[in-house]
Amino acid sequence: MTDPAAPPWQIVPLAERPDLVMPLAEALWQFWHPVFPGKTVDVRAASLRARTNRDRVPVAVVAVAPDGLALGTASILLDDMETRPDLNPWLATVFVMPGQRGRGLGGALCAAAEAAAWRLGVPRLHLFTFDKRGYYAGLGWQDLETVDYAGRPTAIMVKDRPA
């Protein structure tokens, strides 16, 4: 019997659903191309494919609806901010499909990606955000610095592996 309290999605490694790389790449391009015009759909698809690992960084997770469609994604990456190679690895590409937001999926995707990092022995994660500082603070992330990046004031935040 289906558990009525279970969330209406499953979060799995992207390695389990490589067929979802293209729809995710298209959605990521749609949302971010004004900021990162060089990251075309093909570039994003290649980058997502490189994250279809289970036992090493880079690694991506995907949220899947009961009908099999992709609802969102999150990744653990190396060198997400090329101006800060001293900070690694990063929580990155946190994305929930428009129309699916505001019901905890973003938080669940972050938690799943973070759990993958802790499992792989990562002691500290970083992220950068232009406009979601408050959102990540609510998920337990702490401020590290504010920098200029891609022409915008950008918060760098950190989270340590739980003791």
Ligand X SMILES: CC(C)(COP(=O)(O)OP(=O)(O)OC[C@H]1O[C@@H](n2cnc3c(N)ncnc32)[C@H](O)[C@@H]1OP(=O)(O)O)[C@@H](O)C(=O)NCCC(=O)NCCS
Positions that interact with ligand X (CB under 6 A):
31, 94-96, 101-107, 129, 131-132, 134-135, 138
Q: Shortest Cβ distance from residue 1 to ligand X (Å)? A: 27
User: Judged by CB, which is closer to ligand X: 118, or 149?
Assistant: 149
| Cβ–Cβ under 8 Å, residues 83 and 71 | no
Query: Given the complex with ligand X, which of 98 and 162 has the nearer CB atom?
Result: 98
Q: What CA–CA distances, in Å, run from 7 to 2, 87, 122, 139?
A: 11, 34, 27, 18
**Shortest Å, Cβ 45 to ligand X:** 18
CA atoms within 13 A on the CB side of 17: 22
DSSP conformation letters of 58-127: SEEEEEE-TTS-EEEEEEEES-SSTT-TTS--EEEEEEE-TTS-SSSHHHHHHHHHHHHHHHTT--EEEE
- For the chain, what is the largest distance between any 2 Cα atoms, rounded to a whole number of angstroms? 52
For ligand X, the closer CB: 11 or 94:
94
Q: Supply the minimum distance, in Å, between the C-beta of residue 55 and ligand X.
A: 26
Pick between residue 45 and residue 91 the one whose CB is nearest to ligand X. Answer: 91
Residue nearest to ligand X (CB): 106
Closest approach of ligand X to the CB of residue 107, in Å: 3
